[in-house]
Amino acid sequence: MDGKKKKSFVDIILGSNSMTLSVIWVIVIVVFSVMNANYHTLQNATNIFYSATTVGLMAIGETFLIIAGHMDLSISALAAMNGVVVALLIQAGIPWPAALLIGLAIGAMVGILNSALANVFNIQPFIATLAVAQICEGIGYILSDGRPIPIRDRSFIGLGTYKIGGIVPIPVLILLVFFILCGVVLKRTTFGRKIYIIGGNREAAHLAGIDPKKISTVLYIFSSLIGALAGGILAARMHTGQPTACAGADLDAITAAILGGVALSGGKGDMLGCFIGLMIIQCFNTGLSVIGVSSFWQSVAKGLLLIMALILDYFRMKRMEQ
């Protein structure tokens, strides 16, 4: 006897954030599969991953920022605006790779603006990025006159619709690659460790010679870049640039991050948890649609899911304090 108490199966599950989330994910799938046999088909699984790409890309940017003690509420409005910009540029005869690059450049400028408001003028990130969101939303409506901008470039549409091997859509592959690469950056690089340090303890960061403003500027720019990319890919999927395309997607992205174990107070979280949180949300939303729940009640359910994510975050923090 070594005197050590063996952990029960329940202790193992509850002791690992990823395991707990995985169990919740399985429960969601099983419940909706029982309620509707069409839910657990390969086609529906593909659709779930396909539909998760826009929110998933945004969730990656939010995860970096929230771990660092910041937040970006402009990302969905930027994505919608960028979809309109790219669609208009393609209509004007500009090749789609150039149009997409211009959209990404605009995204980078929005990220610089967000960083300046938060780091130079010391405006709370919540308020600063919310104001920028209003600007991006307004510009999207002005440029499109409030109407969808059709896209007829087949090669660009293929970016959002083509399936590799007839199975894996390009947007899904892009999403998975970003999750893997960003997960490695966060957990295996010096830059990633700096993100955790500035989110967990700014004073310690300063003592370690880390400049929190410099790190957060990079993260704001990355968040806006990945949001702009998400908007471009969504426009390709929908064959149109729409100023209303991403309404509420930023809150879904934040919910995915928090549900996945990213602490709102900063300094905690990882990309694996964020990915599982994203899948839980997408499986949940798709399940509601499959069983015929109205869009009004789906909105209520999303709000309850966000509350659940915040409560989970609260209990995680209490557990760490013990």
The single residue listed with the structure tokens 């108490």 is 5
pLDDT tens sequence across 245-274: 998 899 899 999 998 989 888 999 999 999
Residue range 3-31, pLDDT digits in tens: 455 655 545 445 567 788 888 899 899 99
Distances (CA, A) of 51 to 68, 99, 132, 209, 305: 27, 23, 26, 42, 18
CA atoms within 13 A of residue 56's CA, in its CB half-sphere: 29
322 or 161, greater pLDDT: 161
Q: What is the mean pLDDT of residues 268-284?
A: 93
Q: Which two tokens stand for residue 13?
A: 């599950």
| Domain locations along the chain | 21-315
Tell me the whole-structure pTM to 2 decimals.
Answer: 0.91
CB-neighbour burial class of residue 92 (10 A; exposed 0-12, middle 13-18, buried 19+): exposed
Given its phi and psi angles, is residue 180 left (phi above 0), alpha (psi -120 to 50 degrees) or beta?
A: alpha
Q: What is the DSSP string of 167-207?
A: TEEHHHHHHHHHHHHHHHHHHHSHHHHHHHHHHH-HHHHHH
| Fold assignment, 21-315 | ABC transporter involved in vitamin B12 uptake, BtuC (1.10.3470)
305: confidence class by pLDDT, cuts 50, 70, 90: confident
